[in-house]
Amino acid sequence: MEKANNIVLIGFMGVGKGALAREMVRQDSSLYALDTDDMIESLTNTRIKKIFERAGEAAFRALEQKTADWLAQNVENAVVSTGGGFFKVNNLERIGTIVYLKADFDWIYKRILNAPNAKKKLKKRPLFQDVGKAEKLFEERFEAYEKVADIVLDVTETDTEEMAKRVLENVKVKNAGKS
């Protein structure tokens, strides 16, 4: 199967994947923003938290795989923000160019705590109910994120507007090189 031309944002919970996707589509109106958690919630008409409670994590991961397969086959010109574990799906690279939003755990945790509605946002995340466990999960994952990425972006250095510009430039250069 051929690779689609989307931009896929991966990285840990709370790193700012959704915010960056929204800024990218603001800067480039030919793109559309999609979020894999939102897609799964609308597909199942169930909140992520409830899916974890009722059906378990494995069922949620299967829904992520279904979403990945559907995106790869049906979607073009989108910026796809993903749940923190979505990078583990099979054939992620078929969806498009993979951009890893990199930050250390303390930076991410501070960002979450400083966000408006911090408590509500934390409550929605079943794998961020215990800080110690979340940090462990981060330690388990952080090298793997980098391995699957085409582009690594240190998000601790720049604001969202500048990051969006950089990713769009970077992807354009990469795509120009292909044709």
**3-state secondary structure at position 88:** helix
Q: Does 103 bind ligand S3P (CB under 6 A)?
A: no
Q: Does 37 bind ligand S3P (CB under 6 A)?
A: yes
Residue 22 sits at the vertex; the CA angle it makes with 18 and 26, to the nearest 5 degrees, is 170
Are the C-beta atoms of residues 124 and 48 closer than 8 Å to each other?
Answer: yes
Q: Return the CA Rg of the chain.
A: 16
In the complex with ligand S3P, which residue's Cβ is closer, 12 or 72? Answer: 12
- Specify the stretch interacting with ligand S3P by CB under 6 A; choose among 22-30, 108-116, 124-132, 169-177: 124-132
- Specify the stretch interacting with ligand S3P by CB under 6 A; choose among 23-31, 77-85, 102-110, 144-152: 77-85
Out of 65, 126, 142, 156, the only residue in the binding site for ligand S3P (CB under 6 A) is 126
- In the 8-state DSSP scheme, what is residue 156? T
In the complex with ligand S3P, which residue's Cβ is closer, 152 or 174? Answer: 152
Q: Does 127 bind ligand S3P (CB under 6 A)?
A: yes
- In the 8-state DSSP scheme, what is residue 4? P
* CA proximity to 79, closest of 18, 165, 134, 144: 18
Q: Does 111 bind ligand S3P (CB under 6 A)?
A: no
Looking at this protein, which amino acid is placed at residue 23?
E
**HSE-up (13 A, CA, CB side) for residue 166:** 16
Q: Does 102 bind ligand S3P (CB under 6 A)?
A: no
Q: Does 20 bind ligand S3P (CB under 6 A)?
A: no
Q: Does 115 bind ligand S3P (CB under 6 A)?
A: no
Q: Using CB under 6 A as the criterion, which residues of the chain lie in contact with ligand S3P when the complex forms? A: 13, 37, 48, 83-85, 125-127
